[in-house]
Every structure is written in structure tokens, then in C-alpha cells.
């Protein structure tokens, strides 16, 4: 108790010794969608993650940080507000956390209130929740991509399928439900794609190019910044340039040793693969409880 009190008292003494206040640090906040801790920095020997591993080696790695909800919107809303999903009453993909907590202060909003220029690109909150109160300027977007740019395809056979689907939908008069707020089509094809093209043919790669340019711009403003960059991968579909697929021998990737459902587990606790079955090459698979 005495030691703690001494430490607390030392802080004003130490700060008083400094001749000038250090400049506030800039913050680059990177969000990654559906990334599990199968990374080298968490001891995984299969996944090749040299850049994240290097970042972890020079920073802090949390080993007991648990997701508040295994659903995108409530998980992100909880993380960025510091409130539990039950407190903000967000349990699905549609509810805006401000419907029940209009005065909640988010992480980027807190920085904005404290002299930072706050800006975001990509998936920070869930797609349908832009939350303008968090940002000092409109959230960045890349022209030509749908509002939800996860299902973007480049292989000719997939583009041909999508064009065929568009024509079928138009003929049936159902195009309104497949065109987003930006006027772009949103359709899914297969769950995986491999093309021998550069990173920036997909949204995440293109976003990285834009983010790097934005960092240069923010650096020149002479004001501290909070920059949230949200990546869509490794969320489905698993579409990536060939060079990343070539890093792995698929036959050598170990499967889970235990593929059985826990005894007595309720069905609501089981992933029913609903999202995966939304892709044309997996529509035939059975539910987990059906074997």
C-alpha cells in the first residue's frame, strides 16, 4: 500500500521535471475481420504471418482478450464503445448502438474530442453503421467497389457467372434488393478464388494503397491523428492473389483433431455454416447437427 502511494506521488514530481510536454502520438488502428489467433505470435506453426509477428514482437500481445460476441456488429460496437452488447442492446447485424446509447463516446470519437483528426477507411464498425460522430471527415471509400466490398471477384469464370445472375435478377424485376446505397451490385459467387494478380485488384489491397497516401497527407497536417483502417479479409469469400495460396501446401495443413460436437451443447452454440452456404459451391452442405 505504501509502495503504491509512493508511485502515485512520484508521477507529478516526474512530470514537473520535464521542460516540455511530449507531442501526442499518432494512432493507426487496424481492424481485421474474422481473424482467429492462428498466428505465429500466438504459437501457430502453420500460418505464415511475419508482419503481424514482427508487430507483436515490438509491442504487446494480449493472450486473455476475449470477444464479447461472435457476431460482427455487436463485437465491433462493444470494442469501440467499451460497453457490453447487452448494455448497448446490439445483438444482430442491423442495430445501431446509438439507438439505445446515443451519448456513447467511441474510441475514435474520444480522440476527436481531444484534439485529434479522426478518420477511417474500410470495416471499422459493421458496414451499415458509419457513425459520423466518430470521424472528423467523411469515412473514406474507394470508387467502383460496393458498400460491402467483401464479395469481389476477378476470375473470368466468376465474373461471367455474376453477369448471368445480374441478367436473371433484372429479368425477374428483383434488382433493387441486390443494389446497395452506392448504386453498386452486391452478389456472391464461390467461396474461394485464386488469381495471379497484384494485391490491389481486391479491395483490401486497393485500400492499403489509399491508406498509405492518406497517412502521408495526415502527416503533413501538423495535427495528431487517429486513423482507423479496417480490413475485410480473412472474412469469406476467401479470394486472394495466387502468391498467398502458393505459401501453403494444402495437403500438409493439419485438420482439427476433434471434429465432434460437444456432448449436450445447445444448437444455438453451434456454427450452422449459414454464411458459407450462401456461396454457390457450398449450398449443398449439410448442417453440423445433421452430420
Q: What is the pLDDT of residue 7?
A: 35
Identify the domain containing residue 58 by its residue range.
23-66+105-254
- pLDDT, tens digit (0-9, with 9 covering 90-100), for 226-270: 999 999 999 999 999 999 999 999 999 998 888 777 888 887 777
Q: What is the pLDDT of residue 10?
A: 35
Domain contains 144: yes
Domain contains 6: no
- pLDDT, tens digit (0-9, with 9 covering 90-100), for 145-187: 888 888 899 999 999 999 999 999 999 999 999 998 888 999 9
Domain contains 242: yes
Q: What secondary structure letter does DSSP report for 46?
A: S
CATH number at residue 110: 3.40.720.10
The yes-or-no answer on residue 126 being catalytic is yes
Domain contains 261: no
The yes-or-no answer on residue 72 being catalytic is yes
φ/ψ bin of 134: left (φ > 0), alpha (ψ from -120 to 50), beta (otherwise): alpha
Q: Model pTM?
A: 0.87
| 225-231 β-sheet, strand order | 27-32, 225-231, 117-122
pLDDT level of residue 288 (50, 70, 90 thresholds): low
Domain contains 287: no
How many separate domains does the chain show?
Answer: 1
- pLDDT, tens digit (0-9, with 9 covering 90-100), for 98-128: 999 999 999 999 999 999 999 999 999 997 7
pLDDT level of residue 291 (50, 70, 90 thresholds): low
Q: How far apart are CA 46 and CA 88, in angstroms?
A: 38
Domain contains 178: yes
Domain contains 76: no
Contacts of 72 (CB under 8 A, 6+ apart): 33, 93, 126
Contacts of 93 (CB under 8 A, 6+ apart): 71, 72, 73, 126, 128
Q: What is the pLDDT of residue 18?
A: 54
Query: Nine-digit cell at 149?
Result: 466490398
Domain contains 240: yes
For residues 41-52, average pLDDT: 96
Long-range contacts (CB closer than 8 Å, 24 or more residues apart) made by 208-215 = 210/121, 210/140, 210/142, 211/121, 214/119, 214/121, 214/140, 215/28
Residue of 126, 178, 235, 284 marked catalytic: 126
For residues 198-207, average pLDDT: 97
Residue of 6, 17, 67, 72 marked catalytic: 72
Amino acid at each position: 500500500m505504501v509502495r503504491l502511494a509512493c508511485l502515485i506521488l512520484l508521477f507529478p514530481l516526474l512530470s514537473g521535471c520535464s521542460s516540455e510536454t511530449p507531442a501526442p502520438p499518432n494512432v493507426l488502428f487496424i481492424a481485421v475481420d474474422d481473424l482467429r489467433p492462428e498466428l505465429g505470435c500466438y504459437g501457430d506453426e502453420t500460418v505464415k504471418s511475419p508482419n503481424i509477428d514482427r508487430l507483436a514482437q515490438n509491442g504487446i500481445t494480449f493472450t486473455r482478450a476475449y470477444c464479447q460476441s461472435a457476431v460482427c456488429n455487436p463485437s465491433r460496437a462493444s470494442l469501440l464503445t467499451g460497453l457490453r452488447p447487452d448494455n448497448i442492446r446490439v445483438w444482430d447485424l442491423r442495430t445501431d448502438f446509438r439507438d439505445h446509447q446515443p451519448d456513447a463516446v467511441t474510441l475514435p470519437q474520444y480522440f476527436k474530442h481531444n484534439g485529434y483528426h479522426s478518420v477511417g477507411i474500410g470495416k471499422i464498425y459493421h458496414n451499415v453503421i458509419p457513425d459520423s460522430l466518430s470521424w472528423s471527415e467523411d469515412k473514406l471509400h474507394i470508387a467502383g467497389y460496393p458498400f460491402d466490398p467483401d464479395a469481389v471477384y476477378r476470375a473470368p469464370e466468376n465474373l461471367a457467372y455474376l453477369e448471368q445472375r445480374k441478367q436473371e435478377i433484372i429479368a425477374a424485376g428483383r434488382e433493387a434488393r441486390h443494389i446497395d446505397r452506392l448504386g453498386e451490385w452486391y452478389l456472391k459467387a464461390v467461396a474461394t478464388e485464386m488469381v495471379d494478380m497484384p494485391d490491389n485488384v481486391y479491395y483490401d489491397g486497393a485500400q492499403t494503397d489509399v491508406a498509405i497516401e492518406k497517412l502521408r497527407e495526415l502527416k503533413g497536417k501538423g495535427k495528431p491523428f487517429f486513423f482507423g483502417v479496417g480490413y475485410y479479409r480473412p472474412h469469406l469469400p476467401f479470394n486472394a492473389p495466387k502468391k498467398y495460396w502458393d505459401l501453403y501446401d494444402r495437403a500438409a495443413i493439419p485438420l482439427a483433431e476433434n471434429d465432434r460436437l460437444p456432448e449436450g451443447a445447445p444448437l444455438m452454440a453451434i456454427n450452422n455454416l449459414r454464411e458459407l452456404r450462401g456461396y454457390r459451391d457450398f449450398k449443398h452442405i449439410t448442417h453440423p447437427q445433421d452430420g
